[in-house]
Amino acid sequence: MMEKKNLVELILLCLILVFEGHCIQRVLCTSVTYDGRALVIDGKRRILQSGSIHYPRTTPEVWPELIRKAKEGGLDVIETYVFWNYHEPVKGQYYFEGRFDLVQFVKVVHEAGLFVHLRIGPYACAEWNYGGFPMWLHFIPGIQFRTNNAPYKTEMELFLGKIVGLMKEENLFAAQGGPIILAQVENEYGNVEWAYGAGGPLYIQWAAETAVNMNTSVPWVMCAQSDAPDPIINTCNGFYCDQFTPNSPSKPKMWTENYVGWFLAFGYPIPYRPVEDLAFAVARFFEYGGTFQNYYMYFGGSNFGRTAGGPLIATSYDYDAPLDEYGFIRQPKWGHLRDLHKAIKLCEDYLVSSEPTHEQLGSKLEAHVYYKSSNDSAAFLANYDSSQDATIQFNRNSYFLPAWSVSILPDCKTVIYNTAKVVSQRTVADNPFNSATTARDTSIAPSSWSWYKEHAGIWGNNSFTSLGLLEQINTTKDASDFLWYTTSIHVDESDASNQENEDHLFLVSLGHAALVFINKQVVGFGYGNHDNANFSMTQKINLNPGNNTLDVLSMMVGLQNYGPWFDIQGAGPISVIVDGLRNGKTDLSNGEWTYQVGLEGEYLGLDRVSMANSSLWTKGELVPVKESLIWYKVTFLAPEGTGPLALNLASMGKGQAWVNGQSVGRYWPAYLSPMTGCTDNCDYRGSYDASKCQKDCGKPAQTLYHVPRSWINPGENLLVLHEEIGGDPSKVSVVTRTGQEICAVISQADPAPVDTWKLNSELTPNSPQVRLSCEAGWRITSIHFASFGNPQGSCGAFAPGACHSDVVSIIEQACIGREACSIPVTADTLGDLCPPVIKSLAIEALCS
């Protein structure tokens, strides 16, 4: 039965609905303004934590789960770019379906009760193909991107208007009751403005006016744009932004890209950023008057299909983010940041009340205090020395501050959080998909593969001939990664008698890779790298008397997405020379070449499900390995469970993979990173940069490739691989996660969980706790280790110390069969074998 109170409320609501529709709007709508201290939402200054999640880098089925985890992690805002090239693939034809359903994404965020920062750009950068620009834009006569150029400005304004209009139609701006509180125009133009001469500042002026005239009712930002015209807020991007000041005292201090790690490129080691340093950077920012901070990325996801930017951006966009590529929580990163957000939230009223006062407490030691009134304040204590720990005196108390750390004191007295003290749960395996205890690897029977060996060189009748070497992107219009360059080399019969002959081919290319064939036989493979896509090849070749064919397959691995004038950087061979004793040096560069865009297999559509039963495919006992330009196909059964899948393509060379016709992305495990530049235990102390902490030197950047569960059918599934340089498909396997190995180690001296803190509770201080929790759907099924004392080692390799109580049964009691459990780290709960020692509780458990 409905309670009387509820009934009255319902009737009232209906009356309002009937008689005053606009009132509802007024009740639900949100006003967003700003002042010099903060963003002001509904009249209240706010401290906001934000995180980037780019909607097409996962599937819509996963959006709600990611947003839930982001909210639980303490975020208030989700930030995303808008990807013009996929929303308007053909001029005037729009696409907003599936992974590109922007409206749906914004609504999902809204339903979770979070805000949205919409970075419309329309230039995105983002390691996204062509920085998010559609290819057709490049072919508009007279166009120059990102400068004071009329054709460009026309198109940019149309697209900005399209997106703003769409959001308005759906009532998604805050003033309409929607979640969008901020919008961005352009992206980091300040970094490249110098290269556009007088056009740069004029363009920025125009972009600002154009954006403001769209009347979104929310503030606009320009990131990394110190000359952002009023009222646009210029914001900071970087690893640290505490020393940033906006270009007017009436603008708040905002940080739009705080890199949680870095992106990955083929041929590079894997970058990561220790959470202690990330938390330090965030705490420093709010200590210094920041109001809004965004993690780039909170969830990075995957560059499916040909969405990856370039050159040579990998398919994984994991970014070492708090939510990993597959959407799983990455610990201790997620947990330590969640604790940080809670600690900052407890200070919010203080932070927005005033500007901080600064107190130097020693060399590289300082305090910032935020006052609500003269005897009511919150404080941040910082030690920004990169190696010296310190004990400081503050307000007549003494505090220990580890090097490169910030302590947060919401009552100006109690340390409830220190950035260097990680008390959250950790993960045992570095990559849980690679661990036998938490992953199931299903290999595919080697005999079930079919293949199709495609033609090298010109394969169809839509080829064309031209003098000289054509620029690749202008020729393919990015319809394919591939362009065939074919010519013939003539060797005089009279010279053929000389057996000593040795010919060489020299090729210089602007990028990104090339496979060279002489008389249809592969003779070489060359490639550049992310920092320099140019490369040259010197190849010994054997020519026959008479005519020889030379086929060069030039390959793109993601169009450039960053830098001044990046949109007109070319690709493909620029010089091809044959040098031999017989003919001397012949420069073929200006000769006649025949061109064909794309591969035969692409033309045939071998990636498509409808081609799976085609007679083109050959089936036999022995699948050919180490073959270039070959297509492979197999079916595999849907693995059990509902979680995401990974394809293990470690045995393959370079190519692309499709599951049920959906492109998983480009793969290139044959490209190993350099042997040097990695550190096992990267010291979080001291300034971070993108190359400071790297792992997996001398290995492929990526062997596992994410396949979203929603792409999988019950029963049989089709896997197609296109191998370009040679691999072994018989070793390909499908991997799923079956659980997680979690652990924690907390000392009696550690702070209690942030959320147990209450003002004036110092008389009965809360005890520290070990808190364990599993991903939704899993439960704690076993405790592998539990010691209270002075356990040695670290997660995954704990061992009892000299003081050791085996507390396995206590922990089992508290945790087995549960999704989450918490254990106070006290002698009361755990017993006490060695009273004088300050003890720690270390636990290792399995969720499955």
Binding site for ligand GAL (CB under 6 A): 125-127, 187-188, 237, 257, 263
Minimum CB distance to ligand GAL smaller for 41 or for 120: 120
Q: Is 111 a residue of the active site?
A: no
Minimum CB distance to ligand GAL smaller for 294 or for 450: 294
Cis before 122? omega within 30: yes
From the list 232, 224, 270, the residue with the least C-alpha distance to 251 is 232
Residues 6+ apart with CB under 8 A from 838: 747, 748, 749
Distance CA 336, CA 331 (A): 8
Minimum CB distance to ligand GAL smaller for 407 or for 529: 529
In whole angstroms, how close is the CB of 693 to ligand GAL at the nearest point? 16
Strand 592-597 to 482-491 pairing = antiparallel
Minimum CB distance to ligand GAL smaller for 188 or for 832: 188
The DSSP secondary-structure symbol of 374 reads T
Residues 6+ apart with CB under 8 A from 130: 85, 309, 478, 559, 560, 561, 567
Would you say 154 and 218 are in contact if contact means Cβ atoms under 8 Å apart? no
Minimum CB distance to ligand GAL smaller for 381 or for 701: 701
Residues 6+ apart with CB under 8 A from 614: 604, 606
Alpha carbon of 224 to those of 255, 257, 569, 603, 653: distances in Å?
10, 10, 23, 43, 39
Q: Is 193 a residue of the active site?
A: no
Phi and psi at 229, nearest 5°, equal -70, 150
Strand 292-299 to 270-271 pairing = unpaired
Minimum CB distance to ligand GAL smaller for 176 or for 184: 184
Cis before 219? omega within 30: no
In whole angstroms, how close is the CB of 285 to ligand GAL at the nearest point? 17
Neighbours of 592 (CB within 10 A): 12
| Residue 301 backbone class (left: φ over 0; alpha: ψ -120 to 50; beta: rest) | left
Residue type, 357: T
Minimum CB distance to ligand GAL smaller for 127 or for 277: 127
In whole angstroms, how close is the CB of 317 to ligand GAL at the nearest point? 9
In whole angstroms, how close is the CB of 451 to ligand GAL at the nearest point? 37
The DSSP secondary-structure symbol of 128 reads B
Q: Where are the beta strands (DSSP E) in 677-813?
A: 694-695, 704-707, 716-723, 733-737, 740-747, 769-773, 780-789, 804-806
In whole angstroms, how close is the CB of 690 to ligand GAL at the nearest point? 8
Q: List the catalytic residue out of 88, 155, 186, 257.
A: 257
Distance CA 316, CA 701 (A): 9
Distance CA 316, CA 702 (A): 7
By Cβ distance, which residue is nearest to ligand GAL?
125
In whole angstroms, how close is the CB of 277 to ligand GAL at the nearest point? 17
In whole angstroms, how close is the CB of 297 to ligand GAL at the nearest point? 8
Residue 555, classed as helix, strand or coil, is: strand
From the number of C-beta atoms within 10 Å of its C-beta (0-12, 13-18, 19+), residue 589 rates as: middle
Would you say 593 and 466 are in contact if contact means Cβ atoms under 8 Å apart? yes
Minimum CB distance to ligand GAL smaller for 188 or for 227: 188
Would you say 185 and 213 are in contact if contact means Cβ atoms under 8 Å apart? no
The DSSP secondary-structure symbol of 35 reads -
Would you say 45 and 35 are in contact if contact means Cβ atoms under 8 Å apart? yes
In whole angstroms, how close is the CB of 188 to ligand GAL at the nearest point? 5
Distance CA 445, CA 619 (A): 13
In whole angstroms, how close is the CB of 148 to ligand GAL at the nearest point? 21
Q: Which two tokens stand for residue 678?
A: 């990695």
| Residue 708 backbone class (left: φ over 0; alpha: ψ -120 to 50; beta: rest) | beta
In whole angstroms, how close is the CB of 126 to ligand GAL at the nearest point? 4
Minimum CB distance to ligand GAL smaller for 188 or for 389: 188
From the list 522, 462, 476, the residue with the least C-alpha distance to 654 is 522
Minimum CB distance to ligand GAL smaller for 666 or for 722: 666
In whole angstroms, how close is the CB of 244 to ligand GAL at the nearest point? 15
Distance CA 753, CA 744 (A): 13
Neighbours of 697 (CB within 10 A): 16
In whole angstroms, how close is the CB of 296 to ligand GAL at the nearest point? 6
Minimum CB distance to ligand GAL smaller for 126 or for 221: 126
Minimum CB distance to ligand GAL smaller for 195 or for 797: 195
Angle subtended at Cα 302 by Cα 299 and Cα 308, rounded to the nearest 5 degrees = 120
Would you say 441 and 733 are in contact if contact means Cβ atoms under 8 Å apart? yes
Minimum CB distance to ligand GAL smaller for 127 or for 750: 127
In whole angstroms, how close is the CB of 64 to ligand GAL at the nearest point? 25
- Positive or negative, the CA dihedral 582, 586, 588, 590 is negative
Query: Distance from first CA to last CA of the chain, Å, rounded?
Result: 41
From the list 560, 597, 595, 479, the residue with the least C-alpha distance to 136 is 479
Q: List the catalytic residue out of 157, 188, 471, 775.
A: 188
Distance CA 140, CA 156 (A): 13
Q: How many CA atoms lie within 13 A of 737 on its CB side?
A: 27
Active site (catalytic) residues: 188, 257
